[in-house]
Structure 1
């Protein structure tokens, strides 16, 4: 498929989602977890068991069988990161200074819709941005040999079919179409100059960019073993992308050509999410969640030039990521619901592979949320999260996968605030009985 065709397809799918993922990722590595203002209020505890209402279909599509009638949800998350990379005085390029704040504020939208066909079948559609990253240090800084700006953008469209087998078991499955785009920059030597000139102020940049449409699927089940208990298990598959784009640099920096057409194969990881929700009293429900993300599939994608040989690579080699969460909601009145939750995230990135592009680390999520039921059809949600990052350092020394002959050692100062809002609307009349199985009449 040509790049023009990909662009036209993407525009036809969802114009609104094109503004998504223009900031730092706020899940492990470059994933975006901010797909639901409702679930964020619990730090995403129980996201797979329906704590996020319809938006929980991002983690487990089977939750659509819990949503009667014809429903829609729209969510938007404002991510406000702060990430400073401060080199130690021992770094040879220390005089160029630190990165400045490489984090970029971001607005991440997501939308969900479901329609109940009868008492057994539902159809649904989600439009989300599961991956995104922008880190943008100062043009001239001590780590410019290892990175300048980094950008990742994605849009995922996922239609699903849900089946309620009986009162205690439901399942759903559906294909996903994912657009993925990446742009990476770093300093390179001046044409004809020694390699060390890449560390000088004003050094030119090499730019690697590529995009692709890939396909995957989602699947999930919900189980209600007893009244008031819901267990959900959701799966998002790997999506393999064959990125097509260019590697650009000043003439002489990457060979006889200043612009090379390239391809690179990259997989986005598969993910399992488990959620449990338990009604304690008519007003209080507790939620728990566990998430495993198979980041180790990324490896080191090779960047292939026009002659079929590798011209460079993208060393990733992440470990798997894990996320543990616990939260609750309390119904204060028939209209007002308060939420709170804590989570611990085990990053797939450690000091052995941590880069200046993505100085990720383990972190704690602390969240609060509020829901307001305006009437039988319309409700609103808002949530706030602060992310506390573990003390982080970067050690690019001999043996590190990014090492280019210049040691770079730095401390990272990071923190994130997230504010999300959501709207939920039911298009049909809730007072009218939901569709039931046809009644067999005798003549």
Structure 2
């Protein structure tokens, strides 16, 4: 009986290993159409409108009256993993992953309401984390991943206070929902790799953190902002499925604890003329706090695996600018560079991420005093990267070696609008005065 329990735990560990990179380790930045057009440069200083609440809640004091912004973004990732020399010969013949990228639509919104000259209320809904990858059902790396899906939703109410003419502060709770579904092939002795069944891991959790920030306007035309999103602790309750009747007792509950990374954002926007502005941005994501995550079987009452995430911290740098072509039309563009928390030491087939460069363009059209329409397009270039799993590596399923190279890119299209109530109308042009 003890031997059976130990063997069952070992197979459960095989199922869970390789899923580590999917446990909330992929961040989403696409929360503002307006900010996307400038590569999110100056987002913490309000360059993304009220939607900049994601980076810095204090930006709500920059808009009078009641303002609501809604954004809809399509993410079109493309990534292929090609097996290379070093892959187990039995699996190498199964071929590459095909395109593992899965398109997704990401909604995000934010609203603010001015109570008086000093006090504002705001609320934002967004998705700070997400991942959807799906390689071919049968491929050379199938024991390390057949599909991955992560979904998150954050609700962030805040209170903003304008201390004086140059300083505003804001803070509020961040209520976050997190869900994952992961599948991979189970190597069953006696079966051909092409016939391996899939096991799954599912889990979900609610957690609470907070956001806080400040904006400083030392003089007209200059805005400096700093925002912070805390880590959110998730006690994930989930289940596993193992397609073997002999292991039916394992098709039950598991639990794990995960702390999402905290985030620091810094932004600067500087007017260089009455119709042009330049913005800079910096973001730090504390991915290294994830470390190693333990997964516990509620059925067996033991830790069945330690997931060695071992991510590095992530850093993002951006520069952008915008120009008012007319009172109705504004165009913008930007460039961003990100150092990924994932490199060769911790890269998996579920998250074949790498350093990236982004080119961004966007525009806003002021339809009326109340309604503004926004659009943006981005193309992300990712460095070609390598994956190695198997004996002696963090990701090891049955000592099955897998080596591959990853080629990937991302296209992002976003549309949105801003509607304002109670905003003073634009000033009328000065009357023409003639002297005779």
Contact 1:250/1:258 (8 A) holds in 2: no
Partner of 2:63: 67
CA distance in 2, matches of 1:316, 1:218: 25
- Partner of 1:201, secondary structure, is helix
Partner of 1:189: 187
CA distance in 1, matches of 2:301, 2:158: 38
Q: CA deviation at 1:80?
A: 0.7
CA distance in 1, matches of 2:245, 2:316: 46
Q: CA deviation at 1:258?
A: 4.2
Q: Is 1:244 the counterpart of 2:237 in the alignment?
A: yes
- Partner of 1:257, secondary structure, is helix
- Partner of 2:425, secondary structure, is coil
CA distance in 1, matches of 2:29, 2:82: 27
Partner of 2:332: 339
- Partner of 1:226, secondary structure, is coil
CA distance in 2, matches of 1:224, 1:304: 50
Q: Is 1:286 the counterpart of 2:291 in the alignment?
A: no
CA distance in 1, matches of 2:195, 2:178: 30
Q: Is 1:56 the counterpart of 2:52 in the alignment?
A: yes
Contact 1:377/1:430 (8 A) holds in 2: no
Partner of 2:420: 426
Listed one character per residue, the Cα deviations across residues 239-265 of structure 1 (whole Å, up to 9, x for unaligned) are 010010101112268x46240211110
CA distance in 1, matches of 2:390, 2:171: 46
Cα distance, 1:177–1:105 mapped onto 2, change above 3 Å:
same
Partner of 2:14: none
Contact 1:251/1:257 (8 A) holds in 2: no
Partner of 1:274: 266
Q: Is 1:349 the counterpart of 2:347 in the alignment?
A: no
Contact 2:25/2:129 (8 A) holds in 1: no
Contact 1:29/1:347 (8 A) holds in 2: no
Q: CA deviation at 1:395?
A: 1.7
Q: Is 1:174 the counterpart of 2:146 in the alignment?
A: no
Q: CA deviation at 1:203?
A: 0.5
Q: Tell me the number of residue pairs that the alignment of Structure 1 and Structure 2 aligns.
A: 401
Partner of 2:4: none
Q: Is 1:35 the counterpart of 2:51 in the alignment?
A: no
CA distance in 2, matches of 1:334, 1:400: 58
Listed one character per residue, the Cα deviations across residues 376-395 of structure 1 (whole Å, up to 9, x for unaligned) are 10001100000011121112
Instruction: Trace 1:141-180 onto structure 2 (pairs within 5 A).
Output: 141-180=139-178
Moved more, 262-271 or 392-401: 392-401
- Partner of 1:167, secondary structure, is coil
Partner of 2:403: 409
Partner of 1:441: none
Moved more, 302-311 or 325-334: 302-311
CA distance in 2, matches of 1:221, 1:244: 36
- Partner of 2:194, secondary structure, is coil
Q: CA deviation at 1:187?
A: 1.0
Consecutive unaligned residues in structure 1, runs of 5 or more: 1-24, 434-443
- Partner of 2:252, secondary structure, is strand
Instruction: Trace 1:315-394 onto structure 2 (pairs within 5 A).
Output: 315-394=308-387
Contact 2:358/2:379 (8 A) holds in 1: yes
- Partner of 1:358, secondary structure, is coil
CA distance in 2, matches of 1:318, 1:252: 36
Runs of 4+ residues over 6 Å off in structure 1: none
Q: Is 1:127 the counterpart of 2:133 in the alignment?
A: no
RMSD between superposed Cα atoms in Å: 1.7
- Partner of 1:301, secondary structure, is strand
Cα distance, 1:53–1:411 mapped onto 2, change above 3 Å:
same
Partner of 2:78: 82
CA distance in 2, matches of 1:298, 1:384: 32
CA distance in 2, matches of 1:326, 1:133: 26
Contact 2:45/2:224 (8 A) holds in 1: yes
- Partner of 2:273, secondary structure, is coil
Cα distance, 1:429–1:220 mapped onto 2, change above 3 Å:
closer
Listed one character per residue, the Cα deviations across residues 204-256 of structure 1 (whole Å, up to 9, x for unaligned) are 11211110100000000000112211000000000010010101112268x46
Contact 1:223/1:232 (8 A) holds in 2: yes
- Partner of 1:376, secondary structure, is coil
Q: Is 1:103 the counterpart of 2:101 in the alignment?
A: yes
Partner of 1:19: none
Q: CA deviation at 1:153?
A: 0.4
Which of 259, 266, 290 is the matching residue for 2:251?
Answer: 259
Q: Is 1:218 the counterpart of 2:243 in the alignment?
A: no
- Partner of 2:50, secondary structure, is helix
CA distance in 1, matches of 2:417, 2:163: 29
Q: CA deviation at 1:314?
A: 3.1
- Partner of 1:365, secondary structure, is strand
